[in-house]
A and B are shown apart, each in its own frame.
Chain A
């Protein structure tokens, strides 16, 4: 437990992904089975303990410390597990020196009846130090909050075994904690674990962004083109379990099972009565046959609960790009031109209206494709054009390769929107950037009571080079007019101010922002040292870009 507690402790404070990964790998290297497997389960959110609730922890501490001192301490610390971990009294007799393994704790917890849990927990808390108690309480109450995603933890397993990142993801859904077979495999002690999952995930194929120079070596006759839909990439999988029951799952592109977030889509898939199939597609909201822009789909994302009203107002739809598996046959070694008719045939048999085919875009030269990309509404997309963020180029002979191989697939996004805005506030960054002012809030002009004022329209923290960041940081330090904690307000008026050219993917109406607009994916395209602040854009011109 102490090793695991130390790991959680370091992870909680380490901001960098790479360093978090190093810490996890180091732990896998030095910790024993089954402890490390249960640690992996904790980090991937696969461990739950039904009986361990915060109320139980509160009751335990109430028996042991003065209630006034507890109230003052809790008020100061602000976190129950942490307060209890720090205040827990030292036991009168020195506890068993035998260090407790995480594995033993997890196995005991699963066996312990609810009524016996307080006594068991007290024994452990007596035996652990502050960090150990904190980790144990975080673990059992299921609130680790150490900034480690399931994907990061799984990738760390792969890296630990010198395997490509997605290898672990592919076998993951058939595995159970403490993952002895997984560790045996990545350490080269046994074969790849057999996937018994009837609806497993397959790593999706991703594309590289295409540059002007890339086109020089490409022949349009070798490629197919599709719209790049602005939704959420998903993988829909159906299969039969050992009892002959149909299993239907929806995965995110990182392999996370997102079925519970989109129950209506899973029902629609189950209702389609496909046999064993794996469909690669885009999750969209479609109303009255019209694909809605991403801002509408966003209402369905990151929801804890999914109400009937939400389902009715934001009807989901899958636009299918590819077919990976059909009736147990792996189609991935086939070419795009061989897979595509299989997908078309599958969807031709389906009558439900919730899944359809992503159409091909006709073109005979890069020029004609460029024209389609510039105005999809005139190239077959019609009113759906608002939900298109560019075109995809796929080699006709491309087999389906999980990951992001360079060459077979390309994405060619629509040009971003650009505005010139004025830097208003800068904030220190985190981690490596903690000594730099690297988060920039910018605004545009609008009229208020007869005078022009700047209104903030967005915040950007990338797009610039390291060299440019140095210059921006220096400019901020030399033009500060006031400070609020980590934030500096800089000189920004008609005569003095720094103009930033901001590129962004789209604009949505927003009631949460003073300006009434919210940018998608803003970044700093250029620093306009040359441009006077008075010539920056106005809110009126920005509002003209609003969709809908």
Chain B
């Protein structure tokens, strides 16, 4: 038994023949197991979807109740038989409801990580290390220059800036699902008690987090003319909104962006960001390396991101490593936001 006997790469995504299912397929498929709710992993139109309760709720919120014909709820740690394979979902620490998927067949264990991180996040269940024979890891930040500092330190920089520029609104670009709510929670942990202002595009998903029992403090939706009066306040919006018509009402805002990409100065500058906050929901280089070693796997497949560096690193350590060039995964929310909000 080897990893490629269990999972194969197809144009629709990773396919498991033993269970006749796909994982995070990018095309409509008869049966899909979904790791988490980001749009590049969770698409609508599959025949049957298995995911955690939270992920199913996120998909329904985004695509409507008819996003799939049948759904099956997965509980963290519970083993379920699908065809000949035994499948279980385990926390990935990426966003609310995110999961790694463990597939067991004839004693061989293979883990599809989905997106994951090991850093502090009050809004979702922390990553769980799974011993396995083969590990399929994401590599969004698969270069040794990506080392995320403690998110609490970065939030401290944001609050310092609010104090240093009490007349300027602080627009924090953050992906709508996951990052925005994690920012809210981290800002609350740092002791900020003022209301936090939200762009309209992230309201519903934030409500879903609240309904799931995640404490986020008071948030307010921004309406029209108020924008000019938000000096010293924190406003969370989709990253593209900071450069759109929507941002115009603010008077001389400080534009911040919470993302692992902010580690690279040129990327921050190209985006017109004045306060880059290195806060990511993906594993950084050190976490990727540590996680691969923690799983004690002999084989590792590296997907979506900078595969080459991590493959090189794993090979140096005697692991069987290969890149999986899966197409269709990337950052969500990269499109321009609607100007209205």
CB–CB B243/A435 < 8 A? yes
CB–CB B266/A78 < 8 A? yes
CB–CB A26/B164 < 8 A? yes
Q: List residues of chain A with CB within 8 A of the CB of B161.
A: 10
CB–CB A69/B274 < 8 A? no
Q: Mark B256-277, 1 if CB is under 8 A from A, else 0.
A: 0000000111101100111110
CB–CB A12/B147 < 8 A? no
Q: Mark B118-158, 1 if CB is under 8 A from A, else 0.
A: 00000000000000000000000001111101000000000
Q: List residues of chain A with CB within 8 A of the CB of B193.
A: none
B313 CB contact (under 8 Å) in A14, A69, A77, A79: A69
The residue of chain A having its C-beta at the shortest distance from the C-beta of B168 within the complex is A19
Interface size bucket, A side?
20 to 34
CB–CB B143/A73 < 8 A? yes
CB–CB A79/B243 < 8 A? no
Chain B 274-288 residues near chain A, CB threshold 8 A: 274-276
CB–CB A16/B145 < 8 A? no
Q: List residues of chain B with CB within 8 A of the CB of A65.
A: 144
CB–CB A13/B275 < 8 A? yes
Stretch at the interface among B4-12, B55-63, B75-83, B244-252: B244-252
A69 CB contact (under 8 Å) in B252, B276, B309: B309
Chain A 433-454 residues near chain B, CB threshold 8 A: 434-436
Q: Is A384 an interface residue (CB 8 A)?
A: no
CB–CB B147/A86 < 8 A? yes
Q: Is A130 an interface residue (CB 8 A)?
A: yes
Q: Is A82 an interface residue (CB 8 A)?
A: yes
Given contacts A68-B312, A79-B265, A73 and B272 within 8 Å (CB-CB): no
Chain B 292-318 residues near chain A, CB threshold 8 A: 306, 308-309, 312-313, 316
Q: List residues of chain B with CB within 8 A of the CB of A22.
A: 164-165
- Distance between B89 CB and nearest chain A CB, rounded to angstroms: 33
CB–CB A14/B274 < 8 A? yes
**Majority SS at the chain A contact face:** helix
Q: Mark A13-29, 1 if CB is under 8 A from B, else 0.
A: 11110010011001000
Q: Is A167 an interface residue (CB 8 A)?
A: no
Q: Mark A426-437, 1 if CB is under 8 A from B, else 0.
A: 001011101110
Given contacts A69-B312, A83-B145, A130-B147, A435 and B244 within 8 Å (CB-CB): yes
Q: Mark B313-331, 1 if CB is under 8 A from A, else 0.
A: 1001000000000000000
The residue of chain A having its C-beta at the shortest distance from the C-beta of B160 within the complex is A6
Best-surrounded residue of A15, A26, A434 (most CB of chain B within 10 A):
A434
Best-surrounded residue of B147, B165, B272, B275 (most CB of chain A within 10 A):
B272
- Distance between A486 CB and nearest chain B CB, rounded to angstroms: 9
Interface size bucket, B side?
20 to 34
Given contacts A13-B274, A13-B275, A72-B309, A86 and B145 within 8 Å (CB-CB): yes
Q: Is A66 an interface residue (CB 8 A)?
A: yes
CB–CB A435/B316 < 8 A? no
CB–CB B265/A72 < 8 A? no
Q: List residues of chain B with CB within 8 A of the CB of A434.
A: 243, 247, 255, 272
The residue of chain B having its C-beta at the shortest distance from the C-beta of A470 within the complex is B248
Chain B 79-116 residues near chain A, CB threshold 8 A: none
Q: Is A264 an interface residue (CB 8 A)?
A: no
CB–CB B274/A15 < 8 A? yes
A72 CB contact (under 8 Å) in B164, B264, B266, B308: B308
**In the bound complex, what is the Cα–Cα distance between A434 and B266 (angstroms)?**
17
Chain B 199-249 residues near chain A, CB threshold 8 A: 243-245, 247-248
CB–CB B149/A130 < 8 A? yes
Chain A 150-197 residues near chain B, CB threshold 8 A: none
CB–CB B312/A86 < 8 A? no
Q: List residues of chain B with CB within 8 A of the CB of A432.
A: 252
B145 CB contact (under 8 Å) in A15, A26, A87: A87
CB–CB A76/B276 < 8 A? no
CB–CB B243/A428 < 8 A? yes
A435 CB contact (under 8 Å) in B144, B247, B313: B247
Given contacts A130-B147, A130-B149, A432-B252, A13 and B247 within 8 Å (CB-CB): no
- Distance between A86 CB and nearest chain B CB, rounded to angstroms: 4
- Distance between B278 CB and nearest chain A CB, rounded to angstroms: 8
**In the bound complex, what is the Cα–Cα distance between A312 and B144 (angstroms)?**
53
**In the bound complex, what is the Cα–Cα distance between A431 and B271 (angstroms)?**
11
**In the bound complex, what is the Cα–Cα distance between A435 and B145 (angstroms)?**
31
The residue of chain B having its C-beta at the shortest distance from the C-beta of A87 within the complex is B144
CB–CB B264/A77 < 8 A? yes
Q: A10-B275, A13-B269 are in contact. List 16 more A-B contacts (CB 8 A).
A: A10-B161, A12-B269, A13-B268, A13-B274, A13-B275, A65-B144, A72-B306, A73-B309, A82-B264, A86-B146, A86-B263, A129-B149, A130-B147, A130-B149, A430-B272, A435-B245
Q: What 9 A-B pairs have minimum CB-CB distances, sorted nearest first?
A: A86-B145, A434-B272, A73-B145, A13-B274, A72-B309, A435-B248, A87-B144, A435-B247, A69-B144
**Residues in B lying within 8 Å of A, measured CB to CB:** 143-147, 149, 161, 164-165, 243-245, 247-248, 252, 255, 263-266, 268-269, 272-276, 306, 308-309, 312-313, 316
22 sampled A-B residue pairs with Cβ under 8 A: A10-B161, A10-B275, A12-B265, A13-B274, A13-B275, A13-B276, A14-B274, A19-B252, A66-B313, A69-B312, A72-B306, A73-B309, A77-B145, A79-B265, A79-B266, A82-B265, A86-B147, A87-B145, A129-B149, A130-B149, A434-B255, A435-B248
**Residues in A lying within 8 Å of B, measured CB to CB:** 10, 12-16, 19, 22-23, 26, 65-66, 68-69, 72-73, 76-79, 82-83, 86-87, 129-130, 428, 430-432, 434-436
